[in-house]
Amino acid sequence: MNSHQDIRDAVAKLCTRFPNNYWRALDSKRGYPDAFIKVLNDEGYLSVLIPEEYGGAGLGLEAAGVVLEEIARSGGNPAAFHAQMYTMGTLLKHGSARQKQYYLPKIAAGELRLQAFGVTEPAAGTDTLSIRTSAKRQGDKYLVNGQKVWISRAEHSDLLLLLARTSPQEAVQRKTDGLSVFLVDIRQAVGHGLTIRPIQTMMNHHTTELFFDNLEIAADCLVGEEGKGFRYILDGMNAERILIAYECIGDCKFFIDRATEYARERVVFGRSIGQNQGIQFPLARAYAQMRAAELMTNRAASLFDAGEACAEQANIAKLLASEVAWMAADTCIQTYGGCGMAKEYDIERKFRETRLYQVAPISTNLILSYIGEHVLHLPRSF
Amino acid sequence: MKILVAVKRVVDYNVKIRVKADQTGVDTANVKMSMNPFDEIAVEEAIRIKEAGKAEEVVVVSLGVAQCQETIRYALALGADRGILVQSDDELQPLAVAKLLKFVVDRENPDLVILGKQAIDDDSNQTGQMLAALLAWSQATFASKVVLGEGDASVTREIDGGLETIKIGLPAVITTDLRLNEPRYAKLPNIMKAKKKPLEVIPAAETGVDIASRLVTLKVTEPPQREAGIKVGSVTELLDKLRNEAKVI
Ligand SMILES: Cc1cc2nc3c(=O)[nH]c(=O)nc-3n(C[C@H](O)[C@H](O)[C@H](O)COP(=O)(O)OP(=O)(O)OC[C@H]3O[C@@H](n4cnc5c(N)ncnc54)[C@H](O)[C@@H]3O)c2cc1C
Ligand SMILES: Cc1cc2nc3c(=O)[nH]c(=O)nc-3n(C[C@H](O)[C@H](O)[C@H](O)COP(=O)(O)OP(=O)(O)OC[C@H]3O[C@@H](n4cnc5c(N)ncnc54)[C@H](O)[C@@H]3O)c2cc1C
């Protein structure tokens, strides 16, 4: 039995209640999968990483990854889930007892949505250390000013995990100091110093720009210690990469399943196109590469869950999985011929969706530079 | 009251079945397997009876290969209390299954046995009836409603002519139809709890039951390809084709 086969089967079964036309309709009207989230939450899958004492399942990253993979594999889009999973580590590891007691049971019960994560800025994408959004301590409050971009789901989440500068770059000893993490209640903030502006993208991703203009947040929104925020975020990076890799594996399986099925059935020149090696070989190649990426992803997750170092595996898993997902998507479109372009087959939608993962949450070049510098010990380039 | 529910591991209903090239059966290698949907309805009914305070224990039993334990675990995640696998790598035909179930019934002494009316792989629709006969118990097949009384059950059955309601004495065998209930999904915390519930494995050889096959499968083939239909322009044309081409009127 595969690890977590039971969870896989159960999620796959739930996903059958949300067939591809559900996601297609959301895609065309840029809707949010509220109904899907509610069901997965009610059945306990959204709180997979939340410890049992706070009402969650208390499982590890591998189980969380399996949930995402199965959603993607079914033809759905797991984005609303992954955000909560990426951010969870920071809250679990660095949140105060009070924060955990207050927020986690509500998140586990689905009363509070923690689905937004605010790091990127117009002048600081890949280079997180140069973010400028500031939070200045004033008595028992912080005053937040600045701008974020590409902050997904801010309109659909109750809470935002925000990275902001609490000391200017010149005033800190180490480059990595001076950033802090806050848990911001978006519902209270909107109209009181926070403005959200949606950005249209090529897929249904509900991403936005955030403008902070003297937003007051209570001092106890601070997560962990002031100035240590960058380290907390870095801590969560391996988890994020592993989870993204699982999503990409799910996408690969969607594309390969759909393409092989179509190739078996579509008859051209009097025989199924799958009989032609010109169709078979790209699918076989995508499958082989997917399996390799899957092994690396599982390896990274089990190291992570065992509390062992896993940065190399997490980065490689994300690189391989996001690239093969794209290759599988392209192969699938090609196999489908004209139908690959037609909305009603869902291939073009998933094709658009899976392209994101080579750019966000971290782009391929940065993964390669991690491997170059930290695994192969080549000279630092930036 | 104790309820015994039988669950079968079958090819998932979403899978497109492929016949093996040598025509000996259906290809199950690397194919997703899951619980027979009618058995899911049976499990759901048993759990609902227990939740209504009318039963103390729901025991699920499966017969077949070691992997049937996954099917049993799923039933445990849905809310059954414990599981029994009668393990055998042999092909088990309905009579063998009914005999093995009788063996389990004799050990467990349930008041009620619920099974699916048929399994979606072989569609035999025999096991429940054979089990009732072997036990000499009352049976109510194709149930779309079950109301338990004191020592009896009133069961609505889906029959060709509509719905029929009968009263049967307990102990009894009930087989489920599609509209009896809508099965729940397994909640993640319950999947975790199910791992700790007891699951006993009994090798079929130790039961002393004769499970030898009475039937031999000669070959399994794909159903013939359906020819594409046509559109007719008018009622007159339709009548003409029915009369002169199809020769059915
Ligand atoms: C749909 C979508 C949703 C997103 N959601 C979120 C979110 O919820 N929260 C959030 O904080 N962010 C989010 N992001 C932002 C995402 O994390 C960034 O887009 C990503 O980190 C890349 O940053 P950038 O867009 O500024 O690209 P840039 O940093 O401008 O990079 C552009 C290109 O240059 C390359 N590059 C940069 N530096 C180097 C170098 N030194 N060597 C080689 N190549 C280099 C990059 O690899 C990239 O290919 C989202 C983005 C998108 C598109
Ligand atoms: C946006 C769009 C606009 C279009 N506009 C027009 C138009 O204006 N007029 C018009 O007439 N048509 C038009 N087409 C149709 C287009 O020409 C066909 O989609 C294209 O020729 C492929 O045919 P198909 O979609 O039936 O794919 P299929 O023939 O089903 O092919 C599916 C896949 O199988 C492969 N394949 C098939 N046979 C073999 C073989 N023997 N060996 C190896 N591989 C094989 C193909 O290469 C392809 O990758 C349009 C299509 C699209 C998507």
Of B105, B60, B2, give the one whose Cα is nearest residue B197: B60
Side-chain half-sphere CA neighbours of A178 within 13 A: 18
A41 alpha carbon – ligand 1 mean position (Å): 30
B189 touching A, CB under 8 A?
A: yes
A2: confidence class by pLDDT, cuts 50, 70, 90:
low
* Interval B184-191 mean pLDDT: 96
Q: Do A13 and B185 touch (CB under 8 A)?
A: yes
Of all residues in chain A, the percent with pLDDT exceeding 70 is 99
Q: What is the pLDDT of residues A18-47, one digit of tens each?
A: 999 999 999 999 999 999 999 999 999 999
Q: Which residues of A touch B185 (CB under 8 A)?
A: 10, 13-14, 43
Task: Give the distance (Å) from ligand 2 centre to CA of residue A338.
Answer: 5
Nearby residues of A153 by Cβ (< 8 Å), 6 or more positions away: A32, A79, A80, A83, A115, A116, A206, A207, A208
Question: pLDDT at residue B63 above 90?
Answer: yes
High-pLDDT (> 70) share of chain B, %: 100
Enumerate domains of chain A plus CATH numbers.
Answer: 5-108 (1.10.540.10), 114-226 (2.40.110.10), 231-375 (1.20.140.10)
Shortest-distance atom of ligand 1 to CA A83: 8
Mean pLDDT, to the nearest integer, of A241-264? 97
**pLDDT score of A235:** 79
Average pLDDT over residues A267-291: 98
User: Is residue B207 less than 8 Å (CB to CB) from chain A?
Assistant: no
- Per DSSP, A158 falls in state S
DSSP A361: S
At which residue do the structure tokens 């509220």 appear? A34
Q: Is A10 within 8 Å of B188 when comparing Cβ atoms?
A: yes
* Residue to probe by mutation, ligand 1, list A126, A132, A196, A354, most atoms within 8 Å of CB: A126
The 10s digit of each residue's pLDDT in B80-133 is 999 999 999 999 999 999 999 999 999 999 999 999 999 999 999 999 999 999
Q: What is the separation of C-alpha A255 from the centre of its chain, rounded to a whole number of angstroms?
A: 19
Residue A80 pLDDT level (bands cut at 50, 70, 90):
confident
The mean per-residue pLDDT over the stretch A335-346 comes to 98
CA–CA gap between residue A192 and residue A280 (Å, rounded): 58
B228 Cα to the center of ligand 2, angstroms? 22
**CB of A335 sitting under 6 A from ligand 2:** yes
Note whether B194 and B60 are within 8 A (CB): no
Q: Which DSSP string do the residues of A162-173 spell out, in sequence order?
A: EEEESS-GGG-S
What's the A306 CA to ligand 1 centre distance in angstroms?
A: 30
Q: If 0-12 CB within 10 Å is exposed, 13-18 middle and 19+ buried, where does residue B179 land?
A: middle
- The pLDDT mean for chain B works out to 96
Ligand nearest to the Cα of A274, by number:
2
- Cβ distance of A10 and B191 shorter than 8 Å: yes
pLDDT tens, position by position, A50-64: 999 999 999 999 999
B36 touches chain A (CB under 8 A): no
Q: Determine which residue's CA is closest to atom 45 belonging to ligand 1.
A: A365
Residue from A84, A89, A86, A90 nearest A107 by CA? A84
Is B199 near chain A, with CB under 8 Å? no
Residue B177 in contact with residue B162, Cβ under 8 Å?
Answer: no
Distance from the alpha carbon of residue B153 to the mean position of ligand 1, in angstroms: 65
- Give the whole-angstrom CA distance, residue B54 versus residue A350: 48
Share of chain B above pLDDT 90, in %: 92
Phi-psi region for residue A55, left (φ > 0), alpha (ψ -120 to 50) or beta? left
3-state secondary structure of B141: strand
> Which residue, among A14, A16, A40, A43, would best test binding to B if mutated, counting the most B CBs under 10 Å from its CB?
A43
- Which of B32, B185, B188 is nearest residue A7 as measured by Cβ atoms? B188
- How many angstroms separate the CA atoms of A132 and A130, rounded? 6
The answer to whether residues A324 and A293 touch, using CB atoms and an 8 Å cutoff, is yes
Residue A14 distance to chain B (closest CA, Å): 7
C-beta atoms of A10 and B34 within 8 A: no
Distance set, CA B104 to CA A150, A193, B91, B212 (Å): 61, 69, 19, 18
Which residues on B lie below 8 Å from A47 (Cβ)? 188
Please state whether beta strands B152-159 and B57-64 pair in parallel, antiparallel, or not at all (unpaired): unpaired
State the ipTM, two decimals: 0.88
Q: What is the pLDDT of residue A1?
A: 45
The protein residue whose alpha carbon is closest to atom 25 in ligand 1 is A125
